[in-house]
Each structure stands twice: as C-alpha cells, then as structure tokens.
Structure 1
Amino acid sequence: MLCLLLIQLLILPVDDAKRSFEYDHSWKLFNYDIDGVKYMNDSDYEYKEGTFHFQDVALEEHEKFLIRQNLIPYDFIYDVPQTTISIPRTRPGIPFTVNFIDNFLHEKEPMLRPFPNSKEGKEFTSVFNMFEDGCDRLWFVDTGYLDIPGVRKQVQPASLLLYNSLPKPNFQFRKDINSALLHNGITSGLRSLSVDFIFPCAESYVYITDDTTRDLIVFSLQDMRFTKISRASNTADSWKFIVPQFETQYRLEVEKYRKRPNETYEHYVDFLNSTNQLYDPSSDSRPRDTFKNTYYPNYEGMIYTRTYEGNILLFTDGNRNKLYCWNMDTPYEEENVDLLTTIDETKYRFSALDASGSVLHGLIQRTLNNTSSKFNEDENNFWLFSKIIKELLEGSKCSESNQCTDYLTRRTESQSLLFIKKISPKYVTDTVVRKFEKIWNVTGIMN
C-alpha cells in the first residue's frame, strides 16, 4: 500500500507515469545498530558492555547520545554491498556523521551503522558531501566543526579522507587542510566536492567548494598538497545559463590545474555546485530550525548526480521538488534542459541523488512545515527509491543523439584501437568541440 502511495506521489501528470520511481525502503525515523546494540528509541547514553548510568541525571540537549528526530541525511552513495549516508552534525544527538546501510542483510527497515566501523567512525566530526570515483575510492571532507547551536566549536582541523571502497572500505589517508586556504579559518563551508582523475588513478584532483567564499580548494593526489582557486579572479573562465527559477554554474577553470606533460591527455570536467549561491533569504520559505533559527542543511540549494555512461546531468531546482536532465554533450543552454518529474514540494523533497551504473538511486524526505521542525513519527518521513535511467530519460531531450555525441563516440572508438584507457573528454558545445577537433587534427592525434 505504501509503495503504491509513493508511486502516486511521484507521478506528474497521468501521461508521465513511465517516470514513476520504484520504492525500495521507507522509514519513520532512522534506527541504529552500533556493534550489535540496537537503538530503536532516543537514548541519552551510549550503551557499553559492563557499564551503567544513572538515568536520573539531567543532560543538556547537546550532551545526549541519540535524538532520532535529528538524523537528517545530507548525501548518500549507493553500492551493491552497502549504501553510505552522511548526516552533518548541525544538531545534537547524532552519534556518527558517516553511516552505512548493509544491503546484503535485506532488512525490512534497514538500520544505520557507523562507517566503516564504530572505532574509525568516531574519528569523523562532521561530513556533508561524499564522492565515489571510478577508481573505487571514497572521498570525504571532514569539516572538523561541530555546528550545533550553543556548542559550536572546531574539534579538529578540516581534512580530506580517502578510503578504498572494494572489497570493503579500507582507510588510506587523512590530510589536513591548511587553515591559510580558508576564510578566517572557517571550515563549516566545506560542503561540496568533486573528484577529477585520469587512469592510472594516482593522477587525481579533488575540488572542494568553500561556501563561505565560493572559492575552490584543489587537492593533487600526486603532490599531496592543496591549492586555492579564487573564483572572483576567474569569472571569465566560467559561464552560466538560467534554468527556470534558479542559476547553476558550470566551471571550466579547473582544466587549468591539469598537469600537462603533453596534449594527449583527456579532460574530465565535473559540475561544481556552491549551495549558498542559490540561497535568497528574501524569498526563502523553508522551515527554520528550533535551534537559534538555523536552517536544515539538506534544504540548501540544488542537488545533482551524473551518469558517466551517457554523460547526463540529473539535478533538482533550489526547492528540490523538480528533477531536470541535461545531456552534457549538447550546448549548455536552457533549450537543452528537460523537466523529468515533479513532486509536491509542500509534502516531499528530494534530499539526495546517486546515479550508479544504469540506475538512479535517490532519497526523498517529508517536507517540514513552517510551524514545526519535527517529523511526524506516526507516518513515513524518508523513502529510498530507484529508477532505470534509460526509462527515466525516455522521450526527453536528454535521450536524443546529437553531433557532439557522435563525435565523442568516434573519438572513443579511435582511442580504443590505440589502447588508450583514459576518461573521454566531455565538451559541451559544438564550438568547443570543433576548436579541439581542429587542434587534434593538426597534431595528428586524430584521422
């Protein structure tokens, strides 16, 4: 019955039924399994074998171990073995900021577990976005900052962490971010990241968006060092277009930070999003947190994911109730953007998207009203859904072939003959493609 209800909620008009999502799991509120101890209710204390607590001791909110109403996901990564979920520490009662769901257990209502285990999970302070690259690596930016109203403090330096994801998460390194690269040392704005890599995987770059300044902090895996790109000085290297009701930006200046031993390497340019550039306080109607009027972090701006096989960008509007697509092999113009589906923003919002292989996985949560910052514990408030991407895009502008797509296909095939195993270039305008095609022809790289 619930499955049917969710499908009905996600269908736009009747003739858009093919875009309905398949319901996977739902929760009223999240429960925890920490080292075999199951937390099905709020808890003031962490239960440990051989210890006891005096339950009549009054605790402040920020001292409580688990407050289930405050477990609000910000980002997630779907893998066959497990789904990794981040919950930033912007409210009290969040035991672990990075968690996972064990997909092999087939639990009727999956429980959160600390990533990768309770011991290592305690080393994370607060994580927003995460990234899994094509080299089976998981990247995290830990702000090191407890953003809990009343007890805001820097617990440890902001840092970049790397884990191998297969066959199971395996820690590689933690690298602190130099505070000199931050605005007055503020780390709470380190929320968005993208990873750019070329095979072999050692040549990798991580781009971290600092929402405080809108600058980019770039990490080179080869050099193991950070560099800052000031967006204010690179406006000529970026361009934008209007999607209904809000702006997105596609940054090209990251290409300049490639090492260039020669011109045969491939560019991979990702979509970089700064959450605060979409925020307009004068028109914002989102519910405020009861803790000193702060905002729920998962309501800030658009979210997106990318299908690497088809080079399709899937993204929401700022209110997170509309899902759009853009074929990134077409010019970056509004006429090439298509609306795929809409959900009732007064009741539901997309809170995370992850295109994994041929399937789009996503998380929807109930929208809180202006008079309450609490979820209704008698109803489901979170849904995990999936949809085959080809079916989702069927009949949309994003499924149409074009000159750029044909060109990139031919170039990929020519590379295969030379056994060049690198990421294919993803240029988005015919002008840019023709420009680089001319260069390649002159240098003899292409026929």
Structure 2
Amino acid sequence: MELFFSGVFCLFIVSVSSSGLNLEFSWTRINYKWPSKRQRFRRSNGVNPRYGGRSYNGNADSIIFEDPDLEVKPIFGNVGQTSENLQVANDEPVGDIDYQYENNIPMGANVWKNKLFITVPRRRLGVPSTLNYVSLDNPNRQNTPLIPYPNWSKNLYPDPRNTGQNFVSVYRVAADPCDRLWFVDTGLIELPGNPIRVRPPTLIIMDLNTDQIIHSFEIPEDQLRPNSALASLSIDVTKSTCGDAFAYIPDLGGYGLIVYSLRENKSWRVSHNYFYLEPTAGEFFVSGHRFQWNDGIFSTELTSPKQNGYRDLYFHSMAGTNMYKVSTKILRNETASTRSYHEDDFQNIGDRGAQSQTSSADIHEPSGVMFLGLVNQDALACWSTDRPLDTISLVQRDDKTMIYPCDVKVRNDKVYLLTNTMPEFLFGRLNYDTVNFRVWSNTVENAIAGTMCETTRFRGNGRGKYY
C-alpha cells in the first residue's frame, strides 16, 4: 500500500512512441539546499503535547524549542568548523535539522511557471522538508538540491516556534489556473508500527505569487475512516470561477471520495462500491518483488467542461484494472452525491486489461488524452478518452529506469512523470550510488507520437495546436 504501508485479456499495446519522454532531473539520493545561516535551538527535557506526547526523534526526553539567545553546536556539519566560519555545504545540513537521506523518497511532482515542485512525505524520521521545488531553469539536472517551499521554517518538524502549524507530510500537489497550490497535509509521521499523529489531515491552499497560505481546512473527523489515506487531489476550477473551486480528494485507504467546496468552505464524503479495491487485481510484481496492495480509489482525472458546464471525473483503484467515471454535476451537489443509492450516476467504462494497475493519472484537457502510470509495467501509457479502452498505448516503458511511476501531471501542454523505485525502498534496499529518482517530460504531442492516442487533433497544422 502506498500510504501507511500498508478482465482476462491483456492490455493492448499498439505501439511504442518514437519520441516518448525526456529525462529532466535525476537523483541518486534526495538532498536539500541547506540554510545559509545557522538555526538557533535548544534542547529541553519533557514532552510536547502538540506532537502526541512524542519528541522529534521518538524519545520522550529530547524536544526542540526555539531559543534565539542560545548558541549550540550543529548535529550535522563538517568537523573543525566554528560558529564564526561555518559555511553550509551542499551535502550536509547544519544545526538541529534531522536528515537521513535513506528515509527521503519523493512521491509527487508538479509544475507552475519555472518551479518544479517535489514532495517528500515523512514516511520515516530524517525528512527535513516535505514541500520543495527546483527551478526548471537550473542547468544542473543531476542531484539538484531541493529548495523548501515556501521556506525552511514552514517545513521543519517539529515546528521550532511551537505553533503546530508547520507542514508535516505532503504526498502530491495540484496547481490551479488561479495561481494557487493545493495539497493535503496528512499530519502523520509514518513510523512503521508507531505512527505519530501531529495534526488532523488538512487541506491547504497557497498563493503561488506571494508564497503565502491563503486558506486551510481541517477534514472533519466524521468524514475519515481508521485507514484513511489522502495522497492526491484534483481541482475543479477555471480562471473565471476562482472563488467557486472544488477539490476532489480520493481516500485510497478508506475507500471514499471527499469533495470540498471553497465557496461554502465545507466538505462531504461520497461513498460507492467502485471506490474499493478489486480483489483479483491486488497482485504486484515490481523490481523483482512480489507483493499485495489493497489501495482503492487512487487518483481522479478531470476532463474539460462539457456543454452543461460540468466535467467528467474519471477514477480508478490502484488495486484494480477497471476505469470509472461520474459527472461533477453529481459530486458538486452534496445531496445528490451523498444519497445511499446512486442509480446510474457512476459508470464503469470497462476493464483496461491485465497488468494495467495504475497509480497516478492525468488528462490533457484540450485533446482529451489521459496519461496513466502503469505500476506493474514500469511504464507510462496514454488513452484517448473518446475511444475504446482497448486503444490504450504505451508511451514509454523501462524496467530499470522507470520503476514505480508514482505521479503523472499534465501542465501547459506538457506531460510530467515522476518515477521513484519505491518497491525497492519498501521491500529491498536502494543503492544510493545509482540513480533512483527521476522526473521525465515531453510535450503531449511528441509523447504520444506513433501511438493510438495520436489523432487528427495532433496532425495537419504543424504548430502543436489541438483542434
């Protein structure tokens, strides 16, 4: 299972694109752009109730608080440096920043202007910053240090200022046409066998132009389940309806969908049998490891608005091979979406085929082409949503360099894919002397060239327009 560890025909592969994807960034291990000035902290005995009676390193006698008047020696740093000449190297943090590179694995990637956001959820201790970015203008494309967003102080755990409002753990983010960044802070430190609940799961919205949090919303407790896992979201909004946005948040562990209305500042939980795992599709074989996952509804994909002003929302389970959809006309109406019997509101589009279990997916709105991360095939696939499912095609596949396609995003006529070798992280041991994490991209037009997703919308004018 991605969060909390926890059809008889084969998928039709019509052809492999000659263009496929280009490698944008790669990392052997995740590193950070460390602060240029020393952090000032002191250690104090006792337990902080904000963090569930647990301390920073899991012990009850070592909690970190801010003390601007006290100088301390760094936990990490280069031997022989003093407070006067201490300079921050690219490979070592200074001050009381807990960094264990073996515990840092990227799970989400998204783009806004020249920022490529990279999220590193706190699946273990030793993750210094959960929400980060690198510049797309950076000529350094290998082992590029991540920059905490919006800053270091907002990403440290625990919060040195003891406000309890710092980012705890973020899996994936969404950027909307109104220049806002949306994400769910799960509020959970996922220590195996001993998870730490720091804060309730919280939906956060940031203004990307000012780097400020403009709204936050705690998911009501009665809309969560004991195994709830909120690892992705989609935003339903246009430039002309910024104040009337909706967020769709799959609960992959609780088998539900949470709908949030910004205008009403309210959320509701939608239930349906299609949100569950498919019992015969929970077997995975990736990177030499065989395992079972039980993840239900994993990601949601929005089409462009239809004539009635509403979109179709496609969805699928990770442990599943069927594709489903429902109109946002239903989801945006609390009464209609929460009634006990949905009649034919939800549609089963069909079975994508064996070995087509999909993690993240996204739709290129102008063309209607969906991109899917195929976990069991170490591949990115595409599908024109106006064509039958048996026209799904591979964009690119590689069982060495594309292990676990964990996030797929379409931004500005480009598709982005993050692969992170996670099964080896969970069930084996990563080799940090080789490349483990990669971000791939290409224009939609070039990515699907030579596949069954290439339609007349991509041919004829030579200018990359979609018609």
Fold shared per TM-score above 0.5: yes
Match of 1:90 among 105, 114, 123: 123
Match of 2:154 among 112, 120, 123: 120
The superposition leaves residues 417-447 of structure 1 with CA deviations (integer Å, 9 ceiling, x where unpaired) of xxxxxxxxxxxxxxxxxxxxxxxxxxxxxxx
Shift of residue 381, structure 1, vs aligned partner: 1.9
Aligned counterpart, 1:190: 230
Q: CA separation of 1:102/1:54 partners in 2, compared to 1, >3 Å: closer, same or farther?
A: closer
Shift of residue 162, structure 1, vs aligned partner: 0.4
1:328 aligns with 2:381: no
SS at match of 1:390: helix
1:174 aligns with 2:208: no
Q: How does 1:14-413 map to 2 (within 5 A)?
A: 16=16, 18-36=18-36, 50-53=71-74, 65-108=98-141, 109-122=143-156, 123-165=166-208, 167-184=209-226, 186-187=227-228, 189-198=229-238, 199-232=240-273, 265-275=308-318, 301-319=358-376, 321-330=378-387, 333-344=388-399, 348-366=403-421, 369=424, 373-401=428-456
SS at match of 1:171: strand
SS at match of 1:32: coil
Q: CA separation of 1:192/1:365 partners in 2, compared to 1, >3 Å: closer, same or farther?
A: closer
TM-score, structure 1 normalization: 0.65
Q: CA separation of 1:217/1:50 partners in 2, compared to 1, >3 Å: closer, same or farther?
A: same
Q: CA separation of 1:32/1:302 partners in 2, compared to 1, >3 Å: closer, same or farther?
A: same
Greater relative contact order, per chain length (Cα 8 Å cut-off, separation 6+)? 2
Equivalents in 1 of 2:27, 2:215: separation in Å? 34
SS at match of 1:202: helix
Aligned counterpart, 1:8: none
Equivalents in 1 of 2:119, 2:102: separation in Å? 15
Structure 1 window deviating more from structure 2 (46-55 vs 333-342): it is 46-55
Please say if residues 24 and 384 of structure 1, whose CA atoms lie closer than 8 Å, have aligned partners that are also in contact. Answer: yes
The alignment-based identity, stated in percent, is 21
The superposition leaves residues 152-179 of structure 1 with CA deviations (integer Å, 9 ceiling, x where unpaired) of 12111111000122x3533111111110
Please say if residues 90 and 148 of structure 1, whose CA atoms lie closer than 8 Å, have aligned partners that are also in contact. Answer: yes
Give the number of aligned pairs: 341
Equivalents in 2 of 1:250, 1:310: separation in Å? 23
Unaligned runs of 5+ in 2: 1-12, 39-56, 77-95, 157-165, 285-294, 323-356, 458-465
Please say if residues 129 and 140 of structure 1, whose CA atoms lie closer than 8 Å, have aligned partners that are also in contact. Answer: yes
Please say if residues 251 and 297 of structure 2, whose CA atoms lie closer than 8 Å, have aligned partners that are also in contact. Answer: no
Equivalents in 2 of 1:105, 1:26: separation in Å? 13
Aligned counterpart, 1:440: none
Shift of residue 106, structure 1, vs aligned partner: 3.4
The superposition leaves residues 6-57 of structure 1 with CA deviations (integer Å, 9 ceiling, x where unpaired) of xxxxxxx9x956234322222211211132369xxxxx999999421578xx
**What code does the residue aligned with 2:129 have?**
F
Aligned counterpart, 2:51: none
Equivalents in 2 of 1:92, 1:376: separation in Å? 19
Equivalents in 2 of 1:22, 1:251: separation in Å? 24
Per residue, is there more helix in 1 or in 2? 1
SS at match of 2:222: helix
Please say if residues 303 and 320 of structure 1, whose CA atoms lie closer than 8 Å, have aligned partners that are also in contact. Answer: no
Q: CA separation of 1:129/1:371 partners in 2, compared to 1, >3 Å: closer, same or farther?
A: closer
Equivalents in 1 of 2:251, 2:429: separation in Å? 29
Structure 1 window deviating more from structure 2 (191-200 vs 310-319): it is 191-200
Please say if residues 139 and 163 of structure 1, whose CA atoms lie closer than 8 Å, have aligned partners that are also in contact. Answer: yes
TM-score, structure 2 normalization: 0.63
